[in-house]
Structure 1
Amino acid sequence: MQRVIAFFILSLSWPAAVLAQGYMARVLHHPVPGGVAVIPLGTAEQAPKVFYGKDRVMVLRDSDQQWIAVVGIDLKTAAGRRAIRVEGAQGEVGFQVGAKNYKSQHITLKNKSQVNPDPEQVRRYEREYKEQIDAYRRFRDAGPSNVVLDRPVTGRLSSPFGLRRFFNGEERNAHSGLDFAVPAGTPVKAPADGVVTIVADYFFNGKTVFIDHGQGFITMYCHLSAFQVRQGQEIQRGQVVGQVGATGRATGPHLHWNVSLNNARVDPAIFINAFQP
């Protein structure tokens, strides 16, 4: 009884805005470059259709019964005001993107072609990149089954999202996912229901699986040693999709895990309650 009374007294001191937010807004709202903005859209009967730039945005009903837009913010986005477009009466709805600094990482690779590929390898990479971007841009109205995700493997988080990466002293794209340091052969499990859209062996990513969870919510699993799914397969939360390996541009066994919303790669740590401001 004393705990109930204490909780009630504590809740009276919380800001009204916090109490008014639904569960997903409280968990996912980290509006920084590489983060997620959760924007309330009201309580209409039908879900509104929302766009951020040219890309369709996920819209869900939160625990407070409000519709929310769950917007992925690209890592290269500068701090400042941005806006989504809501079809219908609302029109444009603004939100603020804050600043966030990311650390650097220096990696030495013995395979020099994975730093400076030859022309044939560049052409291969360009084909593979287009295939991946097409998968990221896909939008299915159905789903997702859940947006607070299970970890695909159990293990230590190693390289975080957003690191500025230098390979053999040369700067390349920032780290667009989250790495788990786990042994080769560790089963990799789907963190939500979905449809497998890519099963492929890529130049940089190695053996790779993409899962479309619905509404532009896509996850990617790289450097696998083996697959346990096929393209087009419907899978359920907790189902094994492959095993951890060190294929592609990797210095040792680990899982590289990407999360994408509205074609923006965002910090996977947000979805497993491990985000570091």
Structure 2
Amino acid sequence: MPFKRLFILLCLAAFSFPAQAEGFITRLLNKPVPGGVVVVALPEQADAPAAQYRDQPLLVIREDGERWIAIAGIPLTVKPGTEYIETDNGQRIAFKVTDRKYPEQHIKLKNQQHVTPNPEHLKRIQRELDEQITAYKRFSARQPSNLLFDRPVEGRLSSAFGLRRFFNGEERNPHSGLDFAAPTGTSIKAPAAGQVILTGDYFFNGKTVFVDHGQGLISMFCHLSAIDVKVGDEVARGEHVGKVGATGRATGPHLHWNVSLNNTRVDPSIFIGAFMP
């Protein structure tokens, strides 16, 4: 029967031409866990759409020249379940957050002020925190030069993102970045091109550099022994920005590297292809 044959052919065609395959960026970055990253396909249109997640603007790019995608950082505090990205035309796109367990880390510090600061230090800490929060909130129009990042230093990964941290037995905020063990003076390089938007010598972070890679994607490097850039500098991918040290709240020389996306600190290992579920 002609109708039956047509139905069979249509079914075969559906199996022969699957839905649009995931692109490289989606395969690299889509890790929808607390502290991870989600990649969501957006409705097709000529110009780049805009999207938000939890009232923060999102990085939007054209993937493989075929579709618009939004890339969102998921806060560590988000519980497993359904979350939503909103587009500029009012659409809500659902995605699922799956669970991820983070281990504990116990650290002994000689300086008790780095565990329980006095009132004078608390004022300094708050002032420095306000500066850094402003930097993390920055959302520039530039497109990131690359999303598969280079490692900022040559060194062993020593402390993972998301660790529940206990300093001298007292629980504090989870580890918000990735640590690389490296000797003092080791060169730190920009994992992607960007602009230096903040530098400082902070109570907890020590000598610190913030680099804006574009559209809410920010790198922060801290505990440096030397800062070799200044605010406003444009740095190329792989360009030297400073040297590894042990300034601030550190027990030895290492680089602490934060990656922030839509004002959310996320696991940097995702961007260097080293994520472990």
Q: TM-score, normalised by structure 1?
A: 0.92
| Alpha-carbon distance in structure 2 between the residues aligned to 1:104 and 1:16 | 43
Q: Which amino acid aligns with 1:114?
A: H
Any conservation in 2 of the 1:43–1:65 contact (CA below 8 Å)?
A: no
Task: Note if contact 1:245-1:253 (Cα within 8 Å) is conserved in structure 2.
Answer: yes
Task: Provide Cα deviations, 1:73-109, integer angstroms capped at 9, x if missing partner.
Answer: 0111111100011011x61111111100000000000
Q: Indicate the residue corresponding to 2:3 in structure 1.
A: none
Counterpart amino acid of 1:195? Q
Residue-by-residue CA offset, 1:131-163 (whole Å, 9 max, x unaligned):
111111110011211111000001110100000
> Could you tell me which residue of structure 1 aligns to residue 21 of structure 2?
20
Shift of 1:64: 5.4
CA contact (8 A) 1:21 1:64 kept: no
Detail structure 1 runs of 4+ shifted over 3 Å in the superposition. none
Question: How far 1:65 moved relative to its partner?
Answer: 1.3
Matches within 5 A, 1:205-216: 205-216=205-216
Aligned CA RMSD, in angstroms, stands at 1.4
Aligned residue pairs, count: 262
Please give the alpha-carbon distance, in whole angstroms, between the structure 2 residues aligned to 1:142 and 1:254: 30
Q: Secondary structure at the match of 1:241?
A: strand
In 1: Cα distance, 2:55 partner to 2:134 partner: 14
- 1:56-205 paired onto structure 2 within 5 Å: 56-63=57-64, 65-88=66-89, 91-205=91-205
Where structure 1 has 5 or more consecutive residues not aligned to the other structure, the ranges are 1-14
Between the aligned residues of both structures, percent identity stands at 57
User: Structure 2 CA distance, aligned partners of 1:184 and 1:42?
Assistant: 48
Secondary structure of 1:158's counterpart equals: strand
Q: Return the offset for 1:43.
A: 3.2
Per-residue displacement from partner, 1:221-243 (whole Å, max 9, x unpaired)?
A: 00000011001111111110000
Aligned to 1:47: 48
Deviation for aligned residue 1:35: 0.2
Amino acid in the other structure paired with 1:119: P
TM-score (norm. length: structure 2) = 0.92
**Local SS of the residue matching 1:213:** strand
Cross-structure match for 2:231: 231
Q: For the structure 1 residues 16 and 105, does the alpha-carbon distance in structure 2 shift closer, same or farther, using more than 3 Å as the test?
A: farther
Distance 2:192 2:269 in 1: 15
Query: 1:207, 1:225 within 8 Å by CA — same for their partners in 2?
Result: yes
- Aligned equivalent of 1:36: 37
- For 2:130 and 2:81, locate their aligned partners in 1 and report how far apart those are by CA, in whole Å: 30
Structure 2 equivalent of residue 4 of structure 1: none
Q: For 1:160 and 1:114, how far apart are their aligned partners in 2?
A: 21
Q: What's the CA shift for 1:56? A: 0.5
Give the SS at the match of 2:132: helix
Q: By how many angstroms is 1:42 displaced?
A: 3.6
Q: Secondary structure at the match of 2:242?
A: strand
Q: Could you tell me how far apart the structure 1 residues matched to 2:199 and 2:125 are? A: 16
Mapped to 1, the partners of 2:108 and 2:54 lie a distance apart of 37
CA distance in 1, matches of 2:69, 2:192: 20
Q: Note if contact 1:20-1:64 (Cα within 8 Å) is conserved in structure 2.
A: no
Aligned match of 1:11: none
Structure 2 spans left out of the alignment, 5+ residues = 1-16
Aligned AA (1:148): L
Which secondary structure state, in structure 2, belongs to the residue aligned with residue 21 of structure 1? coil
